């Protein structure tokens, strides 16, 4: 068996150790005589799986006790609707910073439910930077202020958070949750699809301050009201049982390696290897403003379109897969989430050096 280095933006690589544990527990989880996939979500054994996953996540993210952790479905995309449906309230106004495709989608969805104020956008330069924001343009009547902490497609990230005062800060952290230490208290709500840094696709984690629960209007569908799952420990209906189990294994893995601070250290070191090479290369370049570079998604282009294509083709043959950039931007993108080992990045850089020499 040969495993490739998978640079996919998500679903993406999982730690080998986690996959091995899942494999060893596939037919018989904890002497229950069943696979986790076959268990009732109402069984004691499953309650322990979901309960432990939450407990470990609370521990590694240092989530305060006045926040609920929810395991939901519908992807981060569902949160583009669920956030406004729950938080916009009577005044129906919200602030958004638009730093990429997903931030744009989130703001467009919110605009169906109320008035959206775009505080800043970097669309003028193909989202290659994080725009400056001017506090005087914040809407004091906004019910929340939404950002996308890391922009998966364009390879940028916020390095500081807007100071929004009494206005609740909401963040889509789909592509950088658990990759760097964040102060949960600064946010009223954090959401993230699991398929990048947390586990397998099918579950979306929402971390929400308790006072924000129960604000949905009477016509909001039951599953889109945060209160429904908050009151039922995410077991109002059948959750994505196996994906939550996988998240639990990944949380354990992070904890064992030294927690999120250790992940951050490793991620910074991994990204530096790639960016240092890109900055020296005569063939490849990274199109992002250096101070706003993502540590998770490293985008790059070769000097011609032919070279981009040749590179992607040869990379696949050499065991480096999913390096093609998002269809909207082209070029290449190496997603190097927590589970990508340093050796994978080193091997990629070596491959890029050889490619550059040969071409």
How many C-beta neighbours within 10 Å does residue 91 have?
12
Q: Does 35 bind ligand PMP (CB under 6 A)?
A: no
Q: Does 73 bind ligand PMP (CB under 6 A)?
A: no
Of residues 115 through 154, those in contact with ligand PMP by CB under 6 A are 148, 152
Report the distance separating Cα 219 and Cα 214, nearest Å. Answer: 13
Q: Does 77 bind ligand PMP (CB under 6 A)?
A: yes
CB 15 within 8 A of CB 28: no
Q: By C-beta, is 39 or 190 nearer to ligand PMP?
A: 190
Q: How far is the CB of 314 from ligand PMP (least distance, A)?
A: 26
Q: How far is the CB of 176 from ligand PMP (least distance, A)?
A: 8
Identify the residue among 11, 15, 75, 89 touching ligand PMP (CB under 6 A).
Answer: 75
Q: Does 8 bind ligand PMP (CB under 6 A)?
A: no
Of residues 162 through 191, those in contact with ligand PMP by CB under 6 A are 172, 174-175
Q: How far is the CB of 162 from ligand PMP (least distance, A)?
A: 17
214-233 burial, b if ≥16 CB within 10 A, otherwise e? Answer: ebbeeebeeebbbbbbbeeb
Which range of residues in 45-53, 75-83, 312-320, 341-349 is near ligand PMP by CB under 6 A?
A: 75-83
Beta strand pairing call for 144-148 and 168-172: parallel
Identify the residue among 5, 8, 10, 245 touching ligand PMP (CB under 6 A).
Answer: 10
Q: By C-beta, is 77 or 353 nearer to ligand PMP?
A: 77
Report the distance separating Cα 332 and Cα 343, nearest Å. Answer: 19
Identify the residue among 5, 46, 102, 300 touching ligand PMP (CB under 6 A).
Answer: 102
Query: What is the helix (H) or strand (E) element at residue 270, kind and residue range?
Result: helix 259-280
Q: Does 243 bind ligand PMP (CB under 6 A)?
A: no
> Using alpha carbons only, how large is the chain's radius of gyration in Å?
21
Q: How far is the CB of 31 from ligand PMP (least distance, A)?
A: 34
CB 5 within 8 A of CB 320: yes
Beta bridge partners of 204: 72, 193
Query: What is the helix (H) or strand (E) element at residue 193, kind and residue range?
Result: strand 189-193
Report the distance separating Cα 52 and Cα 58, nearest Å. Answer: 10
- The alpha carbon of 197 is separated from its chain's Cα centroid by a whole number of angstroms, namely 6
Q: Which of 193, 192, 147 is nearest to 168 (CA)?
A: 147
Q: By C-beta, is 29 or 102 nearer to ligand PMP?
A: 102
Of residues 189 through 228, those in contact with ligand PMP by CB under 6 A are 193
**Torsion angles phi and psi, residue 301, rounded to 5:** -130, 150
The residue nearest ligand PMP at its CB is 75
Which range of residues in 40-48, 72-80, 233-241, 244-252 is near ligand PMP by CB under 6 A?
A: 72-80
Q: Does 76 bind ligand PMP (CB under 6 A)?
A: yes
Q: Tokens 């009151």 — which residue?
A: 231
Q: How far is the CB of 195 from ligand PMP (least distance, A)?
A: 6
Residues interacting with ligand PMP, by CB under 6 A? 9-10, 75-77, 102, 148, 152, 172, 174-175, 193
């Amino acid at each position: 068996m040969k495993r490739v280095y998978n640079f996919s933006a998500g679903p993406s690589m999982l730690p080998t150790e986690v996959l091995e544990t899942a494999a060893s527990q596939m037919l018989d989880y904890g002497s229950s005589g069943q696979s986790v996939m076959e268990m009732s979500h109402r069984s004691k054994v499953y309650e322990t799986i979901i309960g432990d996953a939450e407990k470990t996540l609370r521990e590694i993210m240092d989530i305060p006790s006045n926040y609920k952790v929810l395991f939901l479905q519908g992807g981060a995309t569902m949160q583009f609707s669920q956030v406004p449906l729950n938080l916009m309230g009577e005044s129906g106004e919200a602030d958004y910073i638009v730093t990429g495709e997903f931030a744009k989608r989130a703001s467009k969805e919110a605009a169906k439910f109320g008035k959206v104020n775009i505080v800043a956008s970097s669309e003028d330069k193909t989202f290659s930077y994080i725009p400056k924001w001017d506090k005087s343009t914040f809407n004091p009547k906004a019910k929340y202020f939404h950002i996308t902490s890391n922009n998966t497609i364009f390879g940028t990230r916020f390095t500081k958070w807007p100071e929004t005062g009494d206005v609740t800060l909401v963040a889509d952290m789909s592509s950088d949750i658990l990759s760097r230490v964040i102060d949960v208290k600064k946010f009223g709500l954090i959401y993230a699809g699991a398929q990048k840094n947390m586990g397998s696709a099918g579950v979306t984690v929402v971390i929400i301050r308790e006072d924000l629960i129960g604000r949905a209007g009477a016509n909001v569908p039951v599953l889109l009201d945060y209160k429904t799952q908050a009151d039922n420990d995410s077991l109002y209906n059948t959750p994505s049982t196996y994906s939550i189990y996988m998240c639990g294994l990944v949380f354990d893995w992070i904890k064992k390696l030294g927690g999120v601070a250790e992940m951050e250290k490793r991620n910074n070191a991994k990204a530096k290897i790639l960016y240092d090479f890109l900055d020296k290369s005569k063939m490849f370049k990274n199109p992002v403003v250096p101070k706003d570079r993502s540590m998770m998604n490293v985008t790059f282009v070769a000097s011609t379109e032919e070279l981009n294509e040749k590179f992607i083709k040869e990379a696949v043959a050499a065991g480096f897969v999913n390096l093609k950039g998002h269809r909207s931007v082209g070029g290449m993108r190496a997603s190097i989430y927590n589970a990508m080992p340093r050796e994978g990045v080193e091997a990629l850089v070596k491959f890029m050096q050889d490619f550059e020499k040969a071409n």
